[in-house]
Amino acid sequence: MIPIATVDQMRTLDRQTITEAHVPSLVLMERAGTGVVVHLEERYGPLAGKSIAIVCGKGNNAGDGFVIGRVLRRKKVRVQVLLLASPADLSREAKTMYRRFQRAAGQSAITRPTDADGILRRLMVSDIIIDAILGTGLSTPVAGLYLDAIVAINAAARPTVAVDLPSGLHADTGTILGAAVRADLTVTFGLPKIGLYSGSGIECAGRVRVVDIGIPAAFVQAVGSRVMLLTHAAAHAALPMRPLSSHKGTYGHVGVIAGSVGKTGAAAMAALAALRVGTGLVTVAVPSSVNDVLEAKLLEVMTLPMPETKARTFARTGLERLLAFAGARDAVVVGPGLTTHPETVDLVQEFVKRIDKPCVLDADALNALAGKASLLTECKRPPIITPHPGEMARLETEATTKSVNQDRLGTAIRFARERGVFVILKGARTVIARPDGLAAICPTGNPGMATAGTGDVLTGMVGGLLAQGLSPWDAACAATYFHGLAGDLAANLLGQAGMIARDVIRQIPYALALNTHA
């Protein structure tokens, strides 16, 4: 995993690298600008002959922009720098890079627009726009010519690359300060920034790539970030080995407690996802009258009928049988399609207190705990909960869906600490938090996954990895990463609009087998 930095942490790392590791600030700037060009070519292919506009402010972000321009000139790109400040007002490092660019490209490659129309006219004749206006230090709303430039960049509707952070975005919160560039690609330096994965930063940043500018690993470790970015390498390393001598019992047995009349699909998807993530055996406990319906949907999954209410949901009288069922499994999934029938709610509340197996609570299991989240602290083992923002709001006292979405990271960390549970707070850039306050953000996933059943798929994957012996933290992180990656593969194949949850399930094996270090 890669640590995610706050503005203060990043300043500390830059300062240490310059003063203690004796790497000159201009060297760091050269590495940063060169790294942007590498990712430009990776994303857009050969750049020779293209017209690229670089919009520069007056700080070190502008210095990065001048480096980018100089490197692009060497690659036969037609570069035009739009400088929004007087050269005399540039920061010391930016002024040095300005002079180097000026010597290489000539004064004609630099223009100083004075209004929004002038900026927009120049951007409209460009193939690609590079935003090097503002860096990570912004704390007040943008105004004046900077605001005009941001509005013009968005209006130009050209492929846009942000340098370190989209201008106008708060680096720690992802809040838009007046206006912000909507980038297709953000190339950030040293470590990723929290604001790229929070709030409006998710929309503004586009695809995020990180450039290693040579900050020593010991400095990164010492800065003590408690928020991490999930990586493919880390998620893949958590997966269990598959020895030649293994058999189905080697990979665990998941018990899924799910379903009711009209909602057997949720149980079926959770069960299939558990199998697709590598689990050896899956059995679904289901209300007795819908058992045959579920069996017709599933070939590789076993079912077990349980006592039911007149509404064809789980009955309170089945508690002991369900506890015995759970006790014979390696991990248990509870919640998809249960409904909030009063008797079923009562059953879930008692079951949660007594179960002594690795456990995932989702959907109606969480709704059964609405207003009674204190029951989670009574669990014999810390469970993994997988709420969407609405379910999280119902668990938290005095929270709303809006308040959860405004501080997804803080909400997940706080709840995990207070209740002693592992939290997977679903949504764009899903957040995973554990009881000691460590959190991770998942970079995979896309809007095509905003469809019924994908949450059930994630729950089944988490349960499947728990059954295979992964720790709750590793199971939560790996399942979330590969769930999102499977969704990305499905979107690449089908497009986002028509995706359904079964498409994600089908792509799970391909996600697990994909060889990438993205």
Hey, what amino acid is at 508? I
Give CA 345 to chain center in angstroms.
32
On the CB side of 223, CA atoms within 13 Å amount to: 27
Q: What is the pLDDT of residue 517?
A: 45
Nearest CA-CA partner of 95 in 140, 136, 65, 51: 65
Q: Is 189 exposed, middle or buried (0-12, 13-18, 19+ CB in 10 A)?
A: buried
Contacts of 77 (CB under 8 A, 6+ apart): 47, 48, 49, 50, 51, 52
Sign of CA dihedral 464, 465, 470, 476: negative
Q: Which CATH class is domain 250-511?
A: alpha beta
Tell me the CA distances in angstroms from 177 to 18, 57, 172, one per residue in order: 30, 16, 12
Q: What is the pLDDT of residue 260?
A: 96
Dihedrals phi, psi of 332, to nearest 5 degrees: -135, 140
- Is the entire prediction scored with pTM above 0.85? yes
Tell me the CA distances in angstroms from 107 to 36, 49, 433, one per residue in order: 23, 20, 52
Give the E-state strand segments of 69-226 in sequence order: 78-83, 110-111, 128-132, 160-163, 185-189, 207-211
DSSP-derived secondary structure for 19-49: HTS---HHHHHHHHHHHHHHHHHHHH---TT
Hey, what amino acid is at 342? P
Let me know: does 230 contact 480? Beta carbons within 8 Å.
Answer: yes
Q: Which residues pair with 155 in a beta bridge?
A: none
Q: Which residues pair with 318 in a beta bridge?
A: none
For the chain, the straight-line distance linking the first and the last C-alpha, in angstroms and rounded, comes to 11
- Which residue shows structure tokens 């209740």? 419
Helices and strands (H, E) in the chain, number of each type: 20, 18
CA distance 275 to 285: 16
Domain boundaries, the chain: 14-223, 250-511
The SS3 of residue 222 is helix
Q: What is the mean pLDDT of each run of 10 residues along the chain (518 residues)?
A: 95 96 96 97 96 97 97 96 96 96 94 93 96 93 96 97 97 95 98 94 95 95 94 96 94 97 97 98 98 96 97 97 98 97 97 97 96 93 97 90 93 96 96 97 96 97 98 98 98 97 98 75
CA distance 62 to 70: 13
Let me know: does 359 contact 375? Beta carbons within 8 Å.
Answer: no
DSSP-derived secondary structure for 133-172: S--TT--S---HHHHHHHHHHHHHT--EEEESS-TTB-TT
Range 14-223 classified under CATH 3.30.420.40 = no
Contacts of 40 (CB under 8 A, 6+ apart): 47, 72, 128, 161, 185, 187
Enter the DSSP assignment of 305.
E
Q: What is the pLDDT of residue 515?
A: 76
Nearest CA-CA partner of 181 in 195, 170, 167: 167
- Which residue shows structure tokens 């087998």? 513
Nearest CA-CA partner of 329 in 268, 274, 263: 274
